[in-house]
Structure 1
Amino acid sequence: MTLPAVSVEEVGERRHIVDFGQNLVGRVRLTVRGQAAGTRIQLDHAEVLDHGELYTANLRTAEPVDVFWTNGETEQVFEPRFTLHGFRFAEITGLEGPLDAGDVEAVVLHNDVEFLGDFSSSDAPLDRLFQNICWGLRGNFVSIPTDCPQRDERLGWLADAQVFAPTALAIADVGPLLRRWMRDVRSAQNDDGAFPDIAPHLIHLREGAPAWGDGGVTIPWHIHRATGDLTVLEEAADSMIAWVRHVERHNPSLIWRAQVGNDYGDWLQIGEETRKDVLSTAYFAHSADLTARTLRLVGRDDEADGIDELRERIVAAFGSSFIAADGTVAGDTQGGYLLALSFGLHRDDAERDRIAEKLVESVLRRDVSLTTGFVTVGLLCPVLAEIGREDLAFRLLHNDRYPSWLFSVRNGATTIWERWDGWTPERGFQSARMNSFNHYSLGSVGQWFLSGILGITQQSDSAGYRDLTLSPRFDPFLTHAQGALETPRGRVELLAP
């Protein structure tokens, strides 16, 4: 895929800035004409501009620079072969004379995967958000699933991948890629059973943090659910058991506070902070649940019984430690309530209803704004809809006030930002130490466009859409929505007038 230049602006002597209109991953293909031999041409790349100039501070030590010298031929085409950059803008320095927009294009690079899910509606900003999610996937699934494609990082973080996996698997055929990458994850599992934060395991050489290490359990499960592939669970089952038993061994109280690695919590929350022991223990229960279900599917029922019993004890410990009589989850945050409800950590239906009421209160007291970080953002709309408050889910989805999904869209984003406040009119850019403008984690709402709005989903005990269900929801902000999902059993198309 190539993208033409949207605009070319001469900004100084022998300096041009090219806008491709889309934050992408790849390289520039430049045709130069009539340049004297030995002319030095330099290309610099950036995701955004700052007062009309390339903003590269957020790339840290990465040098997004390509240089070549002309040989005097009448026409030369320059395209580097052994690099890629994350960029929307390119500055081209050294050309004698004007630069024609037709002589420069962006070459988009990504894994060769088929895109399966599509969505469009009567709301242009919502459609742009969906496309931003797709472009985030396209730019960060290059060889392995990475957190960001532009700065000096480009690492396979497990939490980013595991929260985004349901969306990625709904949008594109990434099951084989993720299954292969899980071999890297398992190869980095230590002798005590701990998965890492990152695979391949290049830095942070210690046990994975809650929700990070748990990706070794959740990602195989998501692959199975989306594709129906049982082999991926057979390959992962022993490593799943080892991870759960690792956490249990170091936390005999079943409240996960020891062996928590870098303990990131609900990374990059805004306005409130979910307690880290609430998040970790919720994930301990969740991983135990998925491990037991995996063992039953692969015919290891006796082992499944033992993990099920462990999960029941974790839920009891979570309830007695963190859930108050009125349904308040310790910390009183959206993230805490979402984890408790999504992972089924209530002890009876009445307690579930009380927790649900508290979740609603936590959304309303913020004037229907979100506070979630990487780990819980993908749970927000599905859980609200599940408890009968899809009205709040739609209000959150269509909100363009900061913080929200559409705030970045309103401010020109063409991919998902790493932070809710990556740039604001009041403060400008966030800290350059960590401020990617192509980071898919907060785009984990993408699956809900297909499963929530269009209602293309499957029964809870189904895999590979064996038991398909169609239950579109009425979004009062839309006059129509339509889309499609290519499932392992055929294509599903839906138009919701």
Structure 2
Amino acid sequence: MFCYYILVVACIAANSASRLPTAPYDIRVDHYKVDTTKDLIINTARPRFSWKIAMLETERNVLQVAYQLQIKSRNDQWDSKQVMSSHSIHVSYMGFDDLQSATFYQFRLRIWTTQSNQTSPWTNWIHFRTFMFNIHSYILSKNDSLMWIGSNQINMNELRKEFQISNSSPIQSAVVYISGLGYYELYVNGDKVDISRKLDPGWTVYEKRTLLVSFDLSATIKSGMNAVGVRLGNGWYGQEQYTPPVAPEPNYGPPRFIFFLQILFDNGEEMHVYSDSTWIGRQNSILHDSIYNGEFVDSRNDRLNWSRVGFTDLLSLWIPAELMSSPINESLHGQVVMQDMPPIRAGSDALHFEVTSTLIGGYLSANDIGHIQGAMLTDGGILKPIAVWSPTIGVQVFDLAQNMAGWCRFRFYGARGVGVYIRHGEILTPSIATTNRSYGEVYTENLLGATQSDTYVLHGDPAGEIYEPTFTYHGFRYVSIINAPNSMTVDDVECLVVHSETTLKGHFISSNPIINQIQHNIQWSQLNNLMSLPTDCPQREERKGWLGDAALTVNEALYNFDLIKLYINFLHSIVNTQGTDGAVPDTVPFSDGDFPADPNWGTALPTIAWQLYRHYNDVQILSSFYSNIRLYVESVYNAYKSTGLANLFYSYGDWVPPAPQPRANESLTSSFAFMHDISLLINMSQILGYTNDTHNYMELYQQLAEEFHRVFFNSTSHFYADGTQTSQILALALPNVVPSNIRSLVLEHLVSDITQKNNHVATGIIGTAQLYPLLSDNGYHDLALELISSITYPSYGYMSNNPYENATALWEIWNAPFEGPEMNSRNHIMYGSIGAWFYSHLAGIEFTSNTIVIRPRMASESKKHLLRKVDCQLSTLHGLVHVAYTRDEPDLVSNSIRFRLTIPANTQARVIFEPLFSGARCVRLIEGNEVIWPIDPKLLTERHNIENEVETGVMIVYINSGQYEYQVYWE
């Protein structure tokens, strides 16, 4: 079959049209996008490069045939020469010598393709530098001059040092390495380094792995006197953020930082500036900071120019810094390592775009899409209030119209010493839950122990003064200002959206307004819960790295956002918490939940690794974490040996099904996760060539499959376990568990239960994640569309269509307005799993190792009103995949579709058209203006590589890159 592609390449190479070639674009180095990374730092001596190949709208079958890569430093240069290869992702540097540590480099690239007689132009020289590869050893070797510093005596959260550069030789480079725990901000010669970078460094298991950040200060450090300043915050290093006795409280202490500045001169000499006892510090205007409880800021303690040369302060006591212990536990083999993921950012720098909200050649109009509640991701990362009111004297409430994570920037006018109190909440009082507060105030009872409040004391600037938090963040839609000295307007408030820096790579929109709102809520909830690790919620006394939430939503997250670096870092944190027996906890870093984890939580380790491999086709991820994944699976296997599947351990099971529905059989739910992970381990071992593991785990899986059916199946009633929807869903979702002769009976029981509940789900987070793909893949796609289109309780649509509150992010529980404050987040991501189904089934975009699969599931003619049109963009490592279809074009008859498709250069695709109703057969397939099915077999050419599956009626078309438009008619 695939000889077709070889023929095409040969034909085009021989007869290529001469056109102006285009340089490769959207280049990545070790997964970092060079276009959006401010200071490109690589932590390996053998980096890998990826790029995309430009293609004109009219071009097809564009393939790379060769590339050339050049890398140079100040003293060396390497040239790959022309490499005959079609590879354009994860292309390794193959130089004879490794790249050097802590060195500045440049590279450029050009390619040859089948569409041009000429080579492409070179890209511009792209700058990057390498990290100090031996940084941990270096820090240990300097233990008498390079120290963690801070204070055990006072809240020393502002430190400074001046130093002189007397070397007459020009400065070649100045690079700083810094880590401040819990958070830090770095200032040099009066200015903050990297203004939008916030809440740095990322939260990790500090005693095992503390993250170090590097900045290039070559343009900032100058000859003569210089000054550096560091501000510190408690962050997750503060004791206040932990809630024993659920999890053991880490033995952390006051904030501290480590700092190393390396200055190189053209004459070859070096100068170093370290963190040591020559630094001086004080307590600044932030009198207290807490992630949960906000900040108390007295701006009268601000000192202008505190990080500039020559600063003097007659009003504060600056004292020498103390040497502090390292957070690293050497006995646990802890290390200081590079923060190898994008930072948390605020505002417009936090989110980049590879896709657009503009419809590109699809069939949708604005009227099809409908109104979407909330702010758009394209609004620039800074939201303005849409309304303000005063529910009581001295209180003003602002509505941002969007449930978000971050903070607000306020402008105050008032006298020196006036204090303003700021509160944040997701909803207003009164809700259905009882409350003693006045109507229209911010509701805070669901925040549990977190206050989410900031206090600001004015310094009395007649021209007005600006306040925004530094070392905290909030989850909110509404902001309450109490005791403002001036009556504030919406122009006095703007709120910065804050999350780990990422790129929007997926855009899904349809003619179903309910689905569109759900997609909006998913994307916002996902962004709101990216805070250097995937969290569960951004508002209450929690915000933890719950593994269950992370495992359930990673597939959705990777369809929507470019998050490979964040998830790799999280995998390292999971491994850092892993016990010697292989077990992992429910949260990482371990701060809540159980240890060992519920199997549907612990599955995050294999599931995240597997989904990263699927979306990025990077085998390195599997090989890096395989041994830990195997060890984890063995830990569950060891527990199973004592219990069997019938009593396999659990903590949460199918968490929070809609009231009053019970949770499904917990042991069946845990058994599902256990067997799911074994199946992933089998896949990984096959890819990596570990044949013994493949054989052994296949045998184990088969034994477990037989046991699962024997233990949980009720042969009288023909359902599994308790008959709940989730029990049937999970049994059916596992491969080779339900015997083929009873599969239809189990499906019928599931569907009957759904229809008896008036087409509503009764599933918690585990069952819901598997339900929609299961229905779509087994002949019940119409039912799946009816479920997702529902706006009555319980449903996704109900969250945004009810008389009480209209969600702009996902709820934690299906009936949030009716529950009390306990466990009632309105900005939770765990039900976001449905978002993957939008891409994988409604648009039909799936991945294999080297082929894009396009297989949209279509509603039948009687249900096509549920989903008449879809428009989906997905930016892959190769380029943009665009899928659009319509059932409503004027010239289309019943049971027909029009379908537009873009496949990026250097790829191939398998396009699968499913019959629009049972027993249907394709009677005509048109591409462009040409009938390509049916066609006389004698006329079949390389352009018409089509399969007709007679038994199923499925039509399959094999294509290479390009833009296509199909019309498909069924009878």
User: Fold conserved (TM > 0.5)?
Assistant: yes
Deviation at 1:254, TM superposition (A): 7.1
> Equivalents in 2 of 1:254, 1:347: separation in Å?
22
Match of 1:421 in 2: 815
Mapping for residues 46-445 of structure 1, pairs under 5 Å: 46-51=425-430, 52-73=440-461, 74-204=463-593, 206-252=595-641, 255-256=644-645, 260=649, 263-270=651-658, 271-325=661-715, 327-411=718-802, 412-423=806-817, 428=818, 430-445=819-834
Match of 1:22 in 2: 402
* SS of the residue 2:500 aligns to: coil
> For each residue in 1:245-267, what CA deviation from the matched residue of structure 2 results, as whole angstroms up to 9, or x when unmatched?
22222223773366725x21100
- Structure 2 counterpart of 1:32: 412
Deviations for 1:100-133, whole angstroms, at most 9, x for unmatched residues? Answer: 1111011100111111111112233321111000
Preserved contact between residue 255 and residue 281 of structure 1 (Cα < 8 Å): no
1:472 shift after superposition: 4.6
Contact 2:548–2:604 (8 Å) recurs in 1: yes
Structure 1: segments with no counterpart, 5+ residues = none
Q: Deviations over 1:376-431 (max 9, x none)?
A: 212111100111001110000000110000001113101000000111xxxx4x13
Over residues 86-111 of structure 1, what are the superposed CA-to-partner deviations in whole Å (9 max), with x where a residue is unaligned? 00000011223421111101110011
Letter in 2 for 1:324: N
Say which SS state the counterpart of residue 269 (structure 1) adopts: coil
User: Deviation digits for residues 326-354 of structure 1, max 9, x if unmatched?
Assistant: 64111111111111111224353223222
CA drift of 1:210 comes to: 1.9
Q: 8 Å contact 2:534–2:545 — kept in the other structure?
A: yes
1:304, distance to aligned residue in structure 2 (A): 1.5
SS of the residue aligned with 2:396? strand
Aligned counterparts of 1:255 and 1:134: Cα–Cα separation in 2: 39
Q: Is the CA contact 2:420–2:484 (under 8 Å) kept in the aligned structure 1?
A: yes
Structure 1 contact 257–280 (Cα < 8 Å) conserved: no
Aligned partners of 1:454 and 1:494 also within 8 Å: yes
Give the TM-score, by structure 1 length: 0.94
Which residue in the other structure is 1:4 paired with? Answer: 384
SS in 2 for 1:216: helix
Q: How far apart in 2 are the matches of 1:97 and 1:183?
A: 49
Distance in 2, matches of 1:96 and 1:150, equals: 27
For residues 444-483 of structure 1, the aligned pairs below 5 Å read: 444-458=833-847, 462-463=848-849, 466-474=851-859, 475-483=864-872
SS at match of 1:8: strand
Mapped to 1, the partners of 2:486 and 2:505 lie a distance apart of 45
Equivalent position of 2:931 in the other structure = none
Matched residues in 2 for 1:203 and 1:96: separation? 41
2:388–2:489 CA contact under 8 A, matched in 1: yes
- Aligned residue in 1 for 2:235: none
Question: Aligned equivalents of 2:731 and 2:575: distance in 1?
Answer: 28
RMSD: 1.7
Q: Which amino acid aligns with 1:373?
A: G
Higher percent of residues as strand: 2
| 1:54 Cα offset (Å) | 1.0
| Structure 2 Cα separation of the partners of residues 260 and 400 of structure 1 | 36
What secondary structure does 2:667 align onto? helix
Write out per-residue CA displacement over residues 344-378 of structure 1, whole angstroms, 9 at most, x where no aligned residue.
24353223222222221221121110011111212
Conservation of the 8 A alpha-carbon contact between 2:599 and 2:636? no
The answer to whether the 8 A contact 1:279-1:339 is kept is yes
**CA distance in structure 2 between the partners assigned to 1:162 and 1:67 by the alignment:** 37
Q: Which range moves more in the overlay, 126-135 or 6-15?
A: 6-15
> Which whole-Å deviations, capped at 9, do the CAs of 1:461-486 have from their partners, x for residues lacking one?
x14x6332243523431332212111
Asked whether the 8 Å contact 2:424–2:477 carries over to 1, the reply is yes
The one-letter code sitting in structure 2 at the alignment partner of 1:68 is: Y
1: distance between equivalents of 2:880 and 2:511? 23
- Which whole-Å CA distance do the structure 1 matches of 2:645 and 2:399 have between them? 48
Query: 2:846 and 2:639 mapped to 1: Cα distance?
Result: 38
C-alpha separation in 1, matches of 2:706 and 2:867: 42
Note the C-alpha offset of 1:17: 0.1
Determine if contact 1:466/1:489 at 8 Å carries over to the other structure: no
Which structure has the larger Rg over C-alpha atoms? 2
Q: In structure 2, what is the Cα distance between the partners aligned to 1:396 and 1:176?
A: 34
Tell me the alpha carbon deviations over residues 60-92 of structure 1, each in whole angstroms, 9 at most, x when there is no partner.
110111111112212111111111000000001
Give the TM-score taking structure 2 as reference length.
Answer: 0.49
Structure with the larger RCO, 1 or 2 (CA within 8 Å, 6+ apart): 1
As a proportion of its length, which structure holds more helix? 1
State the distance in 2 between where 1:242 and 1:253 align: 18
Q: Distance in 2 between matches of 1:93 and 1:350?
A: 67
Please give the secondary structure, in 2, of the residue aligned with 1:21.
Answer: strand
Partner Cα separation in structure 2 for residue 93 and residue 377 of structure 1: 42
**3-state SS in 2 of match to 1:476:** helix
Q: Relative to structure 2, which stretch is displaced further, 355-364 or 14-23?
A: 355-364
Residues 282-332 of structure 1: CA distance to partner in whole angstroms, max 9, x if unpaired?
Answer: 221111111111111111111121111111111010011112336411111
The 3-state SS of whatever aligns with 2:882 is strand
**SS of the residue aligned with 2:719?**
coil
Deviations 1:20-67 (A, max 9, x none): 00000000111123x122221111000110131111111011011111
Among 484, 494, 497, the alignment partner of 2:883 is: 494
CA distance in 2, matches of 1:488, 1:139: 25
| Residues 227, 488 of structure 1: 8 Å contact kept | yes
Paired with 1:255 and 1:264, the residues of 2 have a C-alpha distance of: 18
Matching residue's letter, 1:421: N
Preserved CA contact (<8 Å) 1:318 1:345: no
Q: Which moved more, 1:250-259 or 1:86-95?
A: 250-259
Identity %: 29
CA distance in 1, matches of 2:745, 2:735: 13
User: Does structure 2 retain, via aligned residues, the 8 Å contact 1:484–1:491?
Assistant: yes
Could you tell me whether the CA contact under 8 Å between 2:731 and 2:738 is conserved in 1? no
1: CA distance between counterparts of 2:558 and 2:877? Answer: 12
